[in-house]
Each structure stands twice: as C-alpha cells, then as structure tokens.
Amino acid sequence: MISDIYEAKCRFIKTNFRPRGFEECSEVEVTKVVEERELDPKKLKISKFIAEGAYGSVYKGVYDGKQVAVKILDLSDEKRRATLTKAFAQEVSIWNKLGHPNVARLIGASKRLPEVSRSGKRRKWNFVARNHSWEKHRAGYCIVVEYVSGGTLRSHLLKNSIIGRRLSLNAVTKLALDVARGLSYLHSKKVVHRDVKTTNLVLDKEGRVKIIDFGVSRVEASCPTNMSAETGTIGYMAPEVLISLPYDHKCDVYSFGICLWEIYSCSIPYSGQSPHACSAMYKSRRPEIPNTCPSSLADIMKQCWDDDPKKRPEMQEVVLMLEAIDTQKESHGCFCFK
C-alpha cells in the first residue's frame, strides 16, 4: 500500500520514553480498569502488522465482524513488565472516558492475547513484517480501537508533497481544525496527550482527522505539578519538556504548532537532523515558515510554539482563530510545498 511505503521511508525519530513517575500497578488495579471494556479475545482475528510502538506492536484485525486496530503490549521482558502494566492501565482508563468525533474510539481491552491457530498450511496468526512475528507475544495485554482507514496525517501530507499536488488553505484549515478540536476536547477533560504529532493523527474515509495513542497521556488534575518526564517525540516536544521542567497541557499546544507548520508545508520538521542536533536546535529555533504562508496561519504557529507556556493560547482559542480565517480571501499562494 502506497501510504505504508511513504510511512516507512519518512518515519521521524522518536525519543526513548523515560518511565519516571510510573509506580507499580497491581493485577487487581489492571483488572478493575479493564472490567468496563473487557472484550472476548476469541472474537479477535488479527490480519497484518502495522507498526512498532514504544510499548509494543500494532496490528490490523477484526473484532466481532468490525475492522479494528490492535495494540499488543509485550510483557515477556520482566524488567519492563511493571512499566508496561501501568502504561496499559493508564491508557485504557483515559481512553475509556473519551468520546469525540476527532478522537479514535476505544472498543475494548483484554489481559489475554488471542489464541494462536495452527490450522492450514501455515500458522494462521503468524505475522512477519520486518522480523515482527506473533511468536514473540507470549505474554501481554491488548488494546482494541476503531480502525481508521485513511492512514496517518503524516503519510497524507507527504503523498501530496511528493506528487506536487497543491493543498488549499481551505484543506489546511480543515485538517488543523480537526486536530485543534480534538485537543481542545482532551484538555476540557483534563487529559494531556504528551505525544501530539502527525503520526498519531489518522484520517477516516471522509478525511476527518482523529487523535490516537494515549500510551503516555496523563490526567492533568491528578498530577498538576509532577509531570516532568521527557516524554514525546523529538521535533514536537516543548522546550520545558525537553529540559525536564514541570509542565502542563500547554506542551500539547506547542506540539500542535509544529503540526500546523507540517500541515501547511507538507514537510517533516527538522528533516535530516540528528536527534542531538535537533534537540539543541529547537530549544531556541523553530521550523522556517514559508513565505507563501498566510499571516493568519503563521501567527497561530508562532503563538502556539512560544517559549513561554503561559503565552501559548488554549486550544479552544486556537479553534476560534482557525474558524475566523477567511479561506477565500487568503487562499492565493497557499501550497503544500515551497
């Protein structure tokens, strides 16, 4: 599939998650979290490998007749088990409370993996893609969410850029509004995503953007001062996150500013830079805004990625600013490439 090829070629550098603040999570706690959305693993059929994540692998599958995405958290490594168990409980607990058109829907979770079928000429559930196979998942948890068929926003933007297709200001604004509305909703629920980037944003068949992956998300109300872990993806992380200062939901606003630049430019931020060079660079620098970018969009980018978190707007304010853009008046010269 062409989007998979673009995704493979253009995957951005991800930081190693530092599990500070992860206390032990008991089996009882996990059971309590899963109870509300417990699914039957016997109804879950896996079809193909999609991607490798910080905590495990993601697969495409079918649950109870509907297409789904399945995140498998591999617990075979004893050293990572406590961290992964806590991550699983937190992700399911947060995602279970969310319901918004711009947030992918959680279907359920299980502490048991689907059974392996050995029928037929080959093992039915043997998934091999870049040396990824079902055999390594001997112990683990699974999270099942709706399958969003349009691929990631990253792959969508890069496809347009590579074939030289213009992305209108109306299209740019629509994509940005979807993301902004989703984040505004999360923040209204006191949820901080902490890894907002275009590979964690997916498009459905109508072209609507949905936010996915709450593996490192936190409920802000329960930890207003102790979020200081260097969590996220280089190039999208706010300066205060990078240097391990306490931070809040405004770190998502910074990340949105980078995503908005990416949506307009159809380019990867800090492309070609090493992680070290990139980290040092964006403490004081930001991606270069193309000369063709309308001032209304450029102003939003600059406000969102301000060094001072207190000066960044709330996401609901960003929604209002984007809604106020006259896409007809300012559309001249808005392209998805320089």
Provide the annotated active-site residues.
195
Q: Which of 63, 17, 58 is nearest to 38 (CA)?
A: 63
44-52 and 191-192: which strand pairing? unpaired
Over the range 298-334, which residues count as b (16 or more CB within 10 Å of their CB) and which as e? bebbebbbbeebeebbebebbbebbeebebeebbeeb
Read out DSSP for 255-282? HHHHHHHHHHH-S-TTTT--HHHHHHHH
Q: Which of 183, 121, 197 is nearest to 154 (CA)?
A: 197
As given in the structure block, the two tokens for residue 264 are 């307009």
Look up residue 223 and give its DSSP letter: -
Which runs of E-coded beta strand occur in 65-217? 66-74, 106-110, 140-146, 191-192, 201-203, 209-211
H helix and E strand count, the chain: 10, 9
- The H or E element that residue 50 is part of is strand 44-52
